[in-house]
Chains A and B, each alone.
Chain A
Amino acid sequence: MKKGILLSVEDVIKKYGDYTALNKVNISVPKSSIYGLLGPNGAGKTTLMRIINQITAPDHGTIIFNGEKLNKNHIKDIGYLPEERGLYKKMKVGEQALYLAQLKGMSYHEAKEKLKYWFEKLEITHWWSKRVEELSKGMAQKIQFVVTVIHKPELLIFDEPFSGFDPINAAIIRKEILQLRDNGTTIILSTHRMESVEEICDHIALINDSKTILEGPIEKIKEDFQPNTYEVSLDTNNLVSSNQFKILSHDKNTYKIKINEGFLVKQTIDIINKEHKILSFKKDSASVEEIFIKSIKDE
């Protein structure tokens, strides 16, 4: 079943004076997916996220949220964890979390109840009456995470959610993000940590130089990047190219092959199997990191 689209950004242009931050950017984010927004520094990711959050307005283009044109009623449906994030240092953790939750339209009691749930879940209940300045950076990040997700928005936007976390806490946050997705929340995630993109994203978009250069489900992008490429391990090292496949490279008994247009994987396996013993046969795909670097160089 094809999942519906929660958010689509169409032909968005944003200029700051002479500088074009976004130039006809298109993305569509499916419901209940984790959507990785990738791109080098200064590519326009933050601007795009600010536009989706209605912090700034685009000069041109439309944004459709849940079938409607994005408007201020959607603010409560979106949670945003910006990259540049902080808290009032002199305020107490609990008071501040309550204040920020109420800004998102929650009632005092509802906010308090939900905060209690999250504080218990992340085992930070004893921070409630501490001042923010007493917390470490990682601790403050946890609070920010909680206040971002507290009002159960349909769409969550995380800009570098793992920065500032140690590996243990990064794992906790990753687990929470996956759980949110499983419960139906759609998540847009921007990060420079390609291994986390690989691990948790379902879809990615690559933005470079104010434009979208790649977009789609992560598997499809990998396939498009290296179509019909497989890795075969044999017990011998005398495999040769045929009209069905081409050897791209080999390392001892392991070959990278590309199956030619019009042939099926099964046929190729059969042919190789006739003369060699196949130890393993698997899809060879580039890492997101390789795709990222190569696509940007090719631009």
Chain B
Amino acid sequence: MTILAPILMASLIIVPVFLANQDQQNRLIAVSEDDTKYSSKINDTDNINFEIITEDESEKIRKNLTDSPYYAILDIKNDTFTLFASQQIGLNIRNSIQNQLEKIIEREKLKQAGIDIKIIENSKTKINIETKIIDAKGEVTDSNTEASIGIGFITGILIYMFIFMYGTMVMRGVIEEKTNRIVEIIISSVKPFQLMMGKIIGVALVGLTQFILWILLTIIISSFAELFLIDAAEISNNTDTINQSLILDEITKLTGGIDLIKIFFCFIFFFLFGYLMYSALFAAVGSAVDAEADTQQFVLPITIPLILAFILIQPVMDNPDGTLAFWLSMNPLTSPVIMMVRLPFGVDIWELVLSMVLLILGFIITTYLAAKIYRTGILMYGKKISYKELWKWLTYKG
């Protein structure tokens, strides 16, 4: 997993770019028409070249299309259009041709109605609102809403994934220790709380190591892959697409207005404490059951807030300073995900600090409660555990 994950992640970045570039190859399409009504107006596009042929030629080519230089034949007769090809025609090619023909007909109709095409063309407008951020000192920096959405979304989802992944790892570890009965040997040497925290902290360190390794390996692998794959793919005419995919360029582009370092440290903080809080709960669940199959009923209530946070990422992005966003980023159960989503849009420092303090508090409280359940649960075998039972365990004296 440690090695495989960065390869998968890198391929997620590389493969689409690679494939998109592969697909950009030029297509030659033959146009046969009894007249020149359309064929005279049809224009080559970025990757489609048209060649007008006669109907006789068309007949000939049609018999052996595979060996001809043409990708397809566009046959126009009495305002009906047919594309002949030796294989399934790509959707983008069909759409591209369809759009052109539609436009030609549109223009024709406008002309017939006596409207000057130039007027219509001149009336087409395109503007681009530049967004800038003014900070407290009045300094202006570029803002980038798309980048904010991207970073917020990715970091939010990563936290969600990591908490789930490592939380489950803790739970499995606890169940393993309980089912192979080593737990009683160990807790005659260390306190149950120490054993539980040891497990949680151990897995946290595994998580952080893996995470850092993933980042490094993903960057290394995807940079190398880009160098080799893209260069080999001979697509010098599509420099725009390549540049966009280059990681370094991407990062430089995104830094406008977003403090990446702050986000990185917040990410580590919210991941760590979010994980610590949830994994204490996962450990409690693990201690209460005899086998992983019995965890369902207890895991669901723990994960509901986390899943809720995940679902609410979209509404929070729509209004990152709204009431919903505020309260979700204060509640320790949802703040690790939601705060990461809000951060790239800019969050007041007091909100951030308050959210962090609440998360630490949440961690302390859940760990305290989880430890009580854990302490009793790990020594309880062969009993079907209900919520009522768990509640009783919370009240037992140390």
Contact = CB atoms under 8 A, between A and B. Distances in A.
The answer to whether A and B interact is: yes
Interface of A: 16-17, 50, 53-57, 59, 75, 78-82, 84-89, 100, 103-104, 144, 147-148
Interface size class of B (residues with CB under 8 A): 20 to 34
A20 to B, nearest CB: 13
SS of A interface (majority): loop
Contact of A84 (B181, B395, B398): B181
A269 to B, nearest CB: 52
A78 B392 contact: no
B189 A59 contact: no
B236 interface: no
A84 B186 contact: no
Given A82-B184, A85-B182, A88-B180, A75 B397 contact: no
A185 to B, nearest CB: 16
B397 A53 contact: no
A89 B182 CA distance: 10
Interface in B382-398: 392, 395-398
Contacts of A85: 181-182, 184-185
Closest 6 CB pairs of A and B: A86-B181, A86-B180, A80-B188, A82-B184, A103-B189, A53-B188
Contacts of B184: 55, 80, 82, 84-85
B185 A147 contact: yes
13 contacts: A53-B188, A55-B187, A56-B379, A80-B185, A82-B184, A84-B381, A86-B182, A87-B182, A88-B182, A100-B186, A100-B189, A103-B189, A148-B185
A13 to B, nearest CB: 11
B190 interface: yes
Contact of A100 (B185, B392, B397): B185
Contacts of B185: 80-82, 85-87, 100, 144, 147-148
Given A57-B397, A59-B397, A84-B381, A103 B186 contact: yes
Contacts of A86: 180-182, 185
B295 to A, nearest CB: 20
Contacts of A80: 184-185, 188
Interface in B353-398: 375, 379, 381, 392, 395-398
Q: Which of B181, B184, B396 has the most CB of A within 10 A?
A: B184
Given A55-B187, A80-B188, A82-B188, A50 B379 contact: yes
Given A54-B188, A86-B185, 14 more contacts: A16-B396, A55-B187, A55-B379, A56-B375, A57-B398, A81-B185, A82-B181, A82-B185, A85-B184, A85-B185, A88-B177, A88-B180, A100-B186, A104-B189
Contacts of B186: 100, 103
Interface string B186-198: 1111101000000
Contacts of B189: 75, 100, 103-104
Interface in B272-307: none
Contacts of A87: 180, 182, 185
Contacts of B177: 88
Interface in B122-149: none
B340 to A, nearest CB: 35
A103 to B, nearest CB: 4
Nearest to A86: B181
Residue of A16, A54, A84 contacting most chain B CB atoms (<10 Å) = A84
Contacts of A78: 188
B385 to A, nearest CB: 13
A75 B190 CA distance: 8
Contacts of A75: 188-189
A58 to B, nearest CB: 9
B198 to A, nearest CB: 10
Interface in B157-203: 176-177, 180-182, 184-190, 192
A194 B340 CA distance: 65
A148 B188 CA distance: 10
A84 to B, nearest CB: 5
Interface string B47-87: 00000000000000000000000000000000000000000
Nearest to A78: B188
A80 B177 CA distance: 17
Contact of B392 (A17, A81, A148): A17
A79 B189 CA distance: 9
Nearest to A46: B379
Contacts of A17: 392, 395-396
A60 B265 CA distance: 49
Nearest to B195: A103
A59 B396 CA distance: 9
A178 B185 CA distance: 22
A29 B375 CA distance: 28
A81 B188 CA distance: 9
A14 to B, nearest CB: 9
A61 to B, nearest CB: 13
Nearest to B381: A84
A86 B184 CA distance: 8
A144 B189 CA distance: 14
B190 A103 contact: yes
Contacts of A84: 181, 184, 381
A1 B396 CA distance: 43
A86 to B, nearest CB: 3
Contacts of B190: 103
A54 B182 CA distance: 17
A55 B188 CA distance: 6
| Max count, chain A CB within 10 A of own CB: residue among B180, B189, B397 | B189
A8 to B, nearest CB: 20
